[in-house]
């Protein structure tokens, strides 16, 4: 039967979201092969008394059968066969009224992780997911978060699934082919198909099955902007990255296998890594600024001319044959033994194509969730999480907003901190340091987390306390799908000195959106309200970053002092709200504006590809260069463009890079300037 209400949809009081207490005792557990239910807490507010009927099914929306009754608030299910996580329970009163629902899955993951089973009535699955969409539609700064997870099975009869803000849609199979859905859309809340604020949602590890057609309603319409990754997805349908003819500012695809075409017309930019594109972009024109394909394999029918580096001819395509070093993002799945696991993919060098096949999840390490992880739910304190880290546990952080009284401190090699359902970390009011501090150790993975600044802190994540000579060549630190927000959520002043600081060597960054908010709730944004110097500061050597989105910071947005750095794809906008030229000067007040990307003068070796840097300025501001790098033989920059979204006039970039390439200043709206390459000479 359907739930009477969805507990995750009800607006949570902030005091509950940000509570610092320990989680409640277990209400359901396995003991000696039996499942023991204690529903006393569940019905504490109910007036019912007498005999309780216990019903059981193999899914939340499956058929429930009566298995017993009890006059107490405990019950022992002695007829458990197979996997305890396959059982779901309902407790009803003598009139048949539903008093409580219980499951091992809910006990492990909490109330904001919805897990679907192949035995569920698919129409109910679709109805619930789309009800969440209706409740969350346009709620750009909601505190609610959800993970919607599918056990292996065929869910196509659930119909079209709509994915709103703060929803993470994922399969629990070993490969994407283990979970099938019919279609997925991401409707924009702005008018005229405008998807430029379609942020903070994700989909991974499932198949989208349906007809191959360009009919818009039949396409897999992942029409998103920043912080909305799709990973490890197989699609039979055409993948469309825009809504109608609307403007969009995406986007990120990795480890996906697309049988049909994938693309758009009006996406400003898109980064696709280590995927298979059987039909390439097909009929999509992709006429805008910056499209980068790295480690991508193409089908035999693809017009290879569409995937040639063409910036020397005024084009917008960067094609990089391989990815030099990468580890794909870890993910949650169910193993052959029915237990929840986390898969940590293997490190790859010069990688091309996807990491899996129909029958093989790929190379990597499998970790048992309940044995090797501590599962964090809202109400668990930072102090307790740190105790678990010291004890050698990894962390799986479930949906919620977590105000941290102290940084999560990673000191052990190979530690994993993995979020699901847009788990969000906030340095607390008395924590002026950071949300996560990673010591200079091998093999740490931080994945799928949002960071939100509500108060004052030095950083939001710091990797390595200082620059050292320690190398991590064989087992680098991985930071993947990390999204940072300074301002926008609450009406108060916030300050972060530098959002992301990387001091360790050999760090891999795979998809960041680092955002000083340009809009939000009333009183949450402004030049003197949400203040922050830098989005990303890289002091470590041999740091490689893929898919870097970094916007609106008040000084250098990306500032690189380390050697042998590499950036593959960069999207950046200027701060909209610099009040005047006087307020926006670099180099001790001698240079107009701040470069959006700067390698310090001491850097000797640096390489970068596929940059789209745009001016969006409310006031008359000139920025001398969008990019500043030393003119040395080890500096190589390829495919750099500027575009003005300021509306023309005395606004914009004077030059693209180091005084080279006359740019957008005193031009017109949507003017694009570019350079094919810069190779240092000294």
In the three-class reduction of DSSP (H, G, I as helix; E, B as strand; rest coil), residue 167 is classed as strand
What is the DSSP secondary-structure string of 317-342?
EEEES-EEEEEPPPEEEE-TTS-EEE
The answer to whether the Cα torsion of 131, 132, 135, 139 is positive or negative is negative
What is the Cα–Cα distance from 536 to 540, expressed in whole angstroms? 12
466 in active site = no
Find out whether the peptide bond into 354 is cis, omega within 30 degrees of 0: no
The DSSP element (H or E) to which 443 belongs, if any, is: none
What Rg value do the Cα atoms of the chain yield, rounded? 25
**Selection from 386, 371, 393, 421 nearest residue 111 by Cα:** 421
CA distances from 400 to 265, 415, 451 (A): 35, 21, 12
The answer to whether the Cα torsion of 457, 463, 465, 467 is positive or negative is negative
What is the Cα–Cα distance from 546 to 478, expressed in whole angstroms? 11
What is the Cα–Cα distance from 285 to 315, expressed in whole angstroms? 12
Per-residue burial over 453-466, b if 16 or more Cβ lie within 10 Å, else e, is bbbebbbbbbbbee
Which residue, chain included where needed, has tokens 């057609």? Answer: 213
Cβ contacts of 325 within 8 Å, gap of 6 or more: 347, 348, 349, 476, 508, 544
Question: Which listed residue (573, 624, 628, 677) is catalytic?
Answer: 573
CA distances from 608 to 570, 593, 637 (A): 9, 22, 5
What is the Cα–Cα distance from 18 to 426, expressed in whole angstroms? 9
Active site residues: 573
């Amino acid at each position: 039967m359907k739930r009477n209400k969805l507990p995750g949809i009800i607006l949570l009081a902030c005091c509950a979201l940000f509570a610092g207490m320990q989680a409640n005792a277990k209400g359901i557990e396995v003991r000696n092969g039996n499942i023991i239910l204690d529903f006393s807490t569940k019905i504490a507010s109910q007036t019912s008394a007498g005999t309780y009927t216990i019903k059981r099914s193999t899914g939340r929306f499956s058929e429930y059968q009566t298995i017993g009754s009890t006059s107490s608030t405990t019950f022992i299910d002695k007829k458990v066969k197979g996997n305890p996580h396959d059982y779901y329970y309902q407790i009803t009163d003598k009139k048949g009224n539903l008093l409580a629902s219980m499951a091992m899955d809910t006990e492990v993951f909490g109330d904001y992780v919805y897990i679907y089973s192949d035995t569920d009535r698919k129409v109910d699955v679709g109805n619930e997911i789309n009800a969440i969409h209706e409740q969350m539609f346009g709620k750009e700064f909601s505190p609610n978060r959800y993970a919607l997870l599918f056990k292996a099975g065929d869910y196509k009869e659930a119909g079209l699934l709509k994915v709103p803000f703060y929803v993470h849609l994922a399969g629990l199979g070993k490969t994407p082919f283990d979970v099938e859905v019919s279609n997925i859309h991401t409707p924009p809340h702005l008018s005229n198909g405008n998807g430029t604020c379609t942020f903070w949602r994700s989909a991974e590890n499932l198949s989208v099955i349906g007809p191959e057609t360009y009919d818009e309603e039949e396409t897999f319409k992942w029409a998103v902007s920043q912080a909305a990754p799709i990973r490890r997805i197989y699609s039979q349908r055409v993948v469309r990255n825009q809504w109608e003819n609307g403007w969009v500012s995406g986007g990120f695809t990795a480890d996906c296998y697309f049988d049909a075409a994938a693309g758009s017309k009006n996406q400003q930019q898109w980064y696709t890594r280590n995927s298979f594109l059987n039909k390439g972009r097909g009929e999509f024109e992709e006429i805008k600024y910056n499209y980068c394909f790295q480690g991508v394999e193409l089908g035999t029918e693809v017009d290879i001319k569409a995937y040639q580096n063409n910036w020397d001819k005024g084009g917008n395509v960067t094609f990089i044959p391989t990815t030099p070093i990468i580890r794909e993002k870890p993910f949650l799945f169910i193993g052959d033994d029915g237990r929840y696991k986390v898969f940590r993919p293997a490190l790859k060098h010069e990688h091309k194509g996807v990491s899996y096949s129909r029958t093989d999840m790929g190379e990597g390490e499998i970790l048992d969730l309940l044995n090797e992880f501590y599962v964090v739910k809202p109400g668990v304190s930072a102090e307790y999480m740190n105790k678990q880290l010291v004890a050698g546990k990894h962390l799986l952080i479930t949906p919620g907003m977590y105000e941290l009284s102290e940084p999560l401190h990673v000191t052990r090699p190979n530690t994993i901190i993995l979020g699901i359902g847009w788990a969000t970390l906030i340095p607390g009011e008395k924590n002026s340091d950071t949300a996560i501090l990673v010591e200079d150790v091998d093999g740490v993975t931080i994945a799928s987390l949002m960071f939100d600044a509500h108060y004052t802190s030095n950083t939001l994540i710091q990797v390595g306390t200082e620059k050292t000579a320690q190398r991590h060549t064989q087992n680098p630190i991985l930071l993947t799908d990390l999204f940072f927000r300074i301002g926008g959520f609450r009406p108060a002043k916030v300050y972060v000195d530098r959002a992301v600081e990387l001091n360790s060597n050999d760090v891999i960054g795979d998809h960041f959106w680092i955002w000083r908010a340009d809009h939000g709730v009333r009183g949450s944004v402004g030049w003197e309200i949400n203040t922050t110097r830098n989005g990303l500061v890289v002091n470590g050597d041999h740091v490689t970053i893929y898919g870097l989105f970094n916007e609106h910071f008040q000084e250098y947005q990306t500032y690189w002092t380390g050697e042998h750095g590499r950036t593959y794809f960069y999207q950046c906008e200027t701060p909209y709200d610099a009040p005047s030229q006087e307020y926006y000067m670099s180099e001790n007040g001698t240079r107009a504006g701040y470069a959006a990307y700067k390698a310090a003068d001491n850097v000797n070796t640096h390489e970068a590809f596929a940059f789209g840097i745009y001016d969006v300025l409310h006031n008359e501001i000139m920025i001398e260069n969008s990019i500043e790098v030393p003119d040395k033989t080890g500096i190589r920059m390829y495919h750099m463009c500027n575009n003005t979204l300021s509306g023309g006039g005395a606004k914009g970039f004077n030059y693209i890079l180091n005084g080279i390439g006359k740019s957008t200043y005193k031009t017109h709206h949507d003017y694009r300037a570019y350079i094919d390459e810069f190779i240092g000479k000294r």
